[in-house]
């Protein structure tokens, strides 16, 4: 939707002079923007090669969320230490003001040549799909070797967050930009409840004794309840490892290469968008995939391949299983309440699940299963657009 009052953030001359102090861009193209943020691609002359290079710039208004912005940059740098070939390089970061004097944080990232997996998936053969997902899982396994207590992670976080966050960082055992730094497992559960909460409650959480635990009960009988023991929450902080957490196909870059016989196949180029990254029990990342299917992406075959791969690297401990059950209960209860009203997204998700013949498996690590006979059903971009338009017309019309 257009911004008739011109309040959306744009890279004006003042911002560009600060961000690109030595070489002003030859061209700028905005990828997305709103009143507080802007992401744009810039093509900049390269004095050393007499050519030019492209980069991605992220701008965000300087406000109370400043620590979050720089924590995201730190997460990307931590990832780059583990998987340098699959993380865009951070070329610069800092602060700049526009012509109106409004201050912004900025980061300049390497531009990754390629296409998103979202766009390439339907062009890929089954063997190519599996090979790319296997590479993704291998990369995620390498990320999981890093804990928040590792000195390199601590050093990057201290540099990014500054002296005022030193004490908070010292006490943190898990967390990231989306949840904040957390001091214990109970804080993680509270953060999950806060992320899913609506104006009207859709669940209750009751403390119980002998053994000490929390019982989370959905307002919807068919969703049921989940139990999280105090001992489980204590384990979460010990099990927390580095996770990307936003593994939708649009956040995975691939590049086309020529295979033997002249055929084209795709290889993993990079994982992008590290806003949700951080230190969490790996079942947290595993369970997030269930919340993205039909909301963040439509590719059922990608979902099943990634879930299959993630189950190989996510320990099946009682504490991790309890986290998965709690997360899915909160999400499903939230969606039930939203779909009882006029929330378009919840109605789209409900129709998507019906079309794709999905049902919930009792094993939270499995998540969704497909009850269709024969090959997995697929939904094209046009089909998904049609579904969205039909739901919007039905719900809002």
- Which tens digit of pLDDT belongs to each residue from 337-354? 999 999 999 999 999 999
Give the span between the Cα atoms of 209 and 207, in whole angstroms.
7
Length of the chain: 397
What CATH number did the domain enclosing 56 receive?
Answer: 3.30.200.20
Q: 225 and 324: one domain?
A: yes
What would the mean pLDDT of 383-397 be, rounded to a whole number? 93
The answer on 261 and 190 residing in a single domain is yes
Q: Which two tokens stand for residue 119?
A: 């766009």
Task: Determine contact, residues 268/87, Cβ cutoff 8 Å.
Answer: no
Task: Dump the DSSP string for 335-350.
Answer: HHHHHTTT-HHHHHHH
Residue 5 has pLDDT above 60, yes or no: no
| Bond before 211 cis per omega within 30 degrees | yes
Considering the domain architecture, whether residues 134 and 96 belong to the same structural domain is answered as no
Establish if 373 belongs to a structural domain: no
Q: Does residue 324 lie within any of the structural domains? A: yes
Domain contains 326: yes
pLDDT, tens digit, for every residue of 173-197?
Answer: 999 999 999 999 999 999 999 999 9
Q: Does 25 share its domain with 90?
A: yes
Taking alpha carbons only, the member of 347, 355, 356 closest to residue 301 is 356
Query: Tell me: the pLDDT tens digits for 218-249?
Result: 999 999 999 999 999 999 999 999 999 999 99
Name the β-bridge partners of 52. 45
Predicted TM-score of the model (pTM):
0.93
Which of 49, 78, 110 marks a domain boundary?
110
The answer to whether residues 59 and 185 belong to one domain is no
In a domain, 38, yes or no: yes
Does residue 127 share a domain with residue 106? no
SS3 210: coil
Residue 26 to residue 5: CA distance in whole angstroms: 27
Tell me the average pLDDT across 70-99. Answer: 94
> What average pLDDT does the chain have?
94
Determine the Cα–Cα distance for residues 370 and 361; give it in Å rounded to an integer: 10
> How many structural domains is the chain composed of?
2
Residue 55 lies in a domain: yes
State the distance between the two ends of the chain, measured CA to CA, in whole angstroms. 19
> Is 74 a member of any domain?
yes
Dump strand ranges (E) for 90-240.
Answer: 90-97, 103-110, 115-116, 174-176, 180-182, 203-208, 213-218, 225-229
pLDDT recorded at residue 297: 93
pLDDT of amino acid 1 = 46
What tens digit of pLDDT does each residue of 198-222 get?
Answer: 999 999 999 999 999 999 999 999 9
Does 212 reside within a domain? yes
Contact between 99 and 123 (Cβ < 8 Å) = no
Domain match, 140 and 91 both: no
Residue 191: enclosing H or E segment and its boundaries?
helix 185-196
The reply to whether 46 and 165 lie within a common domain is no
36 is in which domain, residue-wise? Answer: 13-110
Using DSSP, state whether 306 is helix, strand or coil.
Answer: helix
With cut-offs at 50, 70 and 90, classify the pLDDT of residue 48. confident
Q: pLDDT, tens digit, for every residue of 88-122?
A: 999 998 999 999 999 999 999 999 999 999 999 99
Task: Render pLDDT for 295-350 as a digit per residue (tens, 0 to 9).
Answer: 989 999 999 999 999 999 999 999 999 999 999 999 999 999 999 999 999 999 99
Residue 65 pLDDT greater than 70, yes or no: no
- CB burial of residue 389 (10 Å; 0-12, 13-18, 19+): exposed
Is 271 in the same domain as 169? Answer: yes
Query: Last residue of some domain: 70, 93, 110?
Result: 110
Task: Clarify whether residues 29 and 45 are in a common domain.
Answer: yes
Instruction: Let me know whether 80 and 161 are in one domain.
Output: no
Summarize pLDDT for 352-387 with one digit per residue, the tens. 999 999 999 999 999 999 999 999 999 999 999 999
Tell me, yes or no, whether 166 lies in a domain. yes
The CA distances from residue 268 to 23, 66, 119, 147, 362, in Å, are 31, 31, 13, 24, 32
**Two structure tokens written together for 132:** 């790319």
Query: Does 28 share its domain with 173?
Result: no
- State the pLDDT at residue 46: 85
From 47, 75, 110, the end of a domain falls on 110
Question: How far is 236 from 288, CA to CA, in rounded Å?
Answer: 16
CB of 176 closer than 8 Å to CB of 280? yes
């Amino acid at each position: 939707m257009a911004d008739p009052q011109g309040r959306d953030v744009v890279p004006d001359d003042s911002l560009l002079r600060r961000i690109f102090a030595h070489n002003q861009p030859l061209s700028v193209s905005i990828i997305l923007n709103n009143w507080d943020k802007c992401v744009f691609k810039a093509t900049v002359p390269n004095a050393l090669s007499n050519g030019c290079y492209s980069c991605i710039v992220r701008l965000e208004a300087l406000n109370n969320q400043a620590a979050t912005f720089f924590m995201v940059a730190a997460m990307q740098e931590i990832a780059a230490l583990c998987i340098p070939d699959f993380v865009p390089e951070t070329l610069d970061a800092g602060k700049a003001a526009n012509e109106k004097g409004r201050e912004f944080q900025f980061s300049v990232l390497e531009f990754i040549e390629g296409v998103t997996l979202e766009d390439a998936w339907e062009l890929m053969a089954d063997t190519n799909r599996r090979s790319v997902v296997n590479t993704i899982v291998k990369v995620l396994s390498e990320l999981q070797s890093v804990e928040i207590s590792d000195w390199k992670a601590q050093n990057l976080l201290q540099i990014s967050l500054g002296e005022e966050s030193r004490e908070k960082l010292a006490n943190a055992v898990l967390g990231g930009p989306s949840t904040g730094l957390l001091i214990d497992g109970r804080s993680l559960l509270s953060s999950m409840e806060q992320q899913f909460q609506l104006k009207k409650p859709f669940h209750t959480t009751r403390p119980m004794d002998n053994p000490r635990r929390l019982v989370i009960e959905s307002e919807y009988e068919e969703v049921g309840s989940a139990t999280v023991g105090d001992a489980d929450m204590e384990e979460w902080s010990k099990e927390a490892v580095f996770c990307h957490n936003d593994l939708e196909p649009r956040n995975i870059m691939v590049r086309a290469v020529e295979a033997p016989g002249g055929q084209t196949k795709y290889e993993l180029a990079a994982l992008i968008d590290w806003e949700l990254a951080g230190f969490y029990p790996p079942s947290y990342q595993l369970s997030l995939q269930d919340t993205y299917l039909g909301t963040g992406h439509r590719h059922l075959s990608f979902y099943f391949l990634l879930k299959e791969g993630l189950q190989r690297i996510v320990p099946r401990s009682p504490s991790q299983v309890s986290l998965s059950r709690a997360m899915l209960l909160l999400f499903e209860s939230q969606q039930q309440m939203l779909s009882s009203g006029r929330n378009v997204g919840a109605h789209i998700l409900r129709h998507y699940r019906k079309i794709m013949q999905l049902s919930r498996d009792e094993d939270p690590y499995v998540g969704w299963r497909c009850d269709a006979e024969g090959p997995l059903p697929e939904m094209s971009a046009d089909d998904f657009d049609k579904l969205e338009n039909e739901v919007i017309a039905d719900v809002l019309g």
